[in-house]
Amino acid sequence: MPYKILDKKELAMNEVWYKIHAPHVARKVRPGQFVVVRAFPNGERIPLTPVTWDREEGWITLITFVRGKTTMRMANELKPGDELLNVAGPLGNPAPMKKFGKILAIGLITGMVEVFPIARAWQEIGNEVTTLHVTPNPMVILREEFENAVSRHIVEGFDLQPGWGMNEIAQELVKRAVAKVKELLESEHWDLVFIVGPAGGQKAVFNVVKEYGIPMEADLHPIMVDATGMCGVCRVTVGGEVKFACIDGPGFDAYKVDWDELIHRTGFYAPLERLALEHYLKTLQAQGGEQ
């Protein structure tokens, strides 16, 4: 199955945009659903979210955050005209399309990508949607698209300090998100809060929202392999029951999610992920040496 890369560009620091020919997905995908992509013959399967699509022309767009080997290799090696080996989907359940009223939809860093199709659809069916993007300033994306699609779009950006690693960025992200969400919840009435982002950030924001008793939905990002319900690696505890995020989610009631467990499970492969990235960087270096 050839899935041609029709276009590709760097939107911001570490944020790469791809337009992919995938008519089977474009025809059917609904906001909240995702795809699984395999880009290389020895590659892994990674879940990504279609941001926009054209059912007639048969394309979808994806935005990846360059955070490890696969996404870096895609950013480095794939050019427009190349093909992705596999794009499976759409997968997961669509987000509920209801009139909730006034919605605050939050995206942390690249989580904003996943917020886009859902927020836009909610707005279209008559909700009043405010979107909040919390991210380092060099990684602000889709600003104009959001401004055109929803009632109000807020960017809570912050500058990266010299010497910061992932931990410092994550800490600042959580601090900013919590402060901004508190401010918004304090000053206005909300019917629903929705969040996409790293589990740690989602939990921190949930702890704020909980104090106000506002209904909250979260799209969860556990590790996935097949994403069709046949392995259970994406299992999460929701309301005391074991659920598979790929077929029961990815959206869940934030009040029912066991957040600590989720945070734990997403970090399992961190050492091997680092190893894979180092291995790739070494290969790149070796290739650079030969040239």
Partner 1 sequence: MAVRRKLIKERVPTPERPPKERVKDFKEVNLGYTFELAVKEAERCLQCPYEYAPCIKGCPVHINIPGFISKLVEYRDNPDKAVREALRIIWNDNTLPAVTGRVCPQEDQCEGACVVGKVGDAVDIGKLERFVADYARKNGIEEELLCEFEEECTGELGKVAIVGAGPAGLTCAGELAKMGYKVTIFEALHKPGGVLAYGIPEFRLPKEILDHELAKLNRLGVEIKTDHVVGRTVTIEELLQEYDAVFIGTGAGTPKLLNIPGILLGRIYSANEFLTRVNLMKAYEFPEYDTPIAIGKKTIVIGAGNTAMDAARSALRLGSEVTIAYRRGREDMTARIEEIKHAEEEGVQFEFFLQPVEFIGDENGRVKAVKFERMRPLEERDKRGKRKIVGTGEYVTLEADTVIIAIGLEPNRIITETPGLKTNPNGTLVVDENLMTSIPGVFAGGDAIRGEATVILAMGDGKKAAKAICDYIEKKRAKANA
Tell me how far, at minimum, the Cβ of 236 lies from partner 1, in Å: 8
Return the residue of 75, 247, 255, 256 that touches partner 1, per CB under 8 A. Answer: 247
Residues 14-73 that bind partner 1 (CB under 8 A): 24-25, 28, 33, 38, 40, 42-45, 69-70
Q: Which residues pair with 117 in a beta bridge?
A: none
Residues 88-107 that bind partner 1 (CB under 8 A): 88-91
User: Within 13 Å, how many C-alpha atoms sit on residue 193's CB side?
Assistant: 28
Q: Does 281 bind partner 1 (CB under 8 A)?
A: no
Q: Does 125 bind partner 1 (CB under 8 A)?
A: no
Q: Does 273 bind partner 1 (CB under 8 A)?
A: yes
Residue 149 in contact with residue 119, Cβ under 8 Å? yes
84 by Cβ neighbours in 10 Å (0-12 / 13-18 / 19+) ranks as buried
Residues 214-233 that bind partner 1 (CB under 8 A): 225-226, 228-233
CB-nearer residue toward partner 1: 52 or 237? 237
Return the residue of 13, 78, 276, 284 that touches partner 1, per CB under 8 A. Answer: 276
CB-nearer residue toward partner 1: 81 or 229? 229
Q: Does 87 bind partner 1 (CB under 8 A)?
A: yes
Q: Does 287 bind partner 1 (CB under 8 A)?
A: no
Residues 151-180 that bind partner 1 (CB under 8 A): none
Residue 105 in contact with residue 119, Cβ under 8 Å? yes
Distance CA 33, CA 94 (A): 5
Tokens of 264: 């734990």
Q: Does 272 bind partner 1 (CB under 8 A)?
A: yes
Pick from 182, 172, 106, 107: nearest CA to 136: 172
Tell me how far, at minimum, the Cβ of 163 lies from partner 1, in Å: 27
Q: What Å distances lie between residue 130 and 11, 115, 184, 185, CA to CA?
A: 22, 11, 10, 12
Q: Does 261 bind partner 1 (CB under 8 A)?
A: yes
Sequence-distant (≥ 6) Cβ neighbours of residue 284 within 8 angstroms: 76
Pairing status of strand 59-65 against strand 152-158:
unpaired
Tell me how far, at minimum, the Cβ of 193 lies from partner 1, in Å: 25
DSSP 85: S
What residues make contact with partner 1 under the rule CB under 8 A?
1, 24-25, 28, 33, 38, 40, 42-45, 69-70, 85-91, 225-226, 228-233, 235-237, 242, 247, 258, 261, 264-265, 268-269, 272-273, 275-276, 279-280
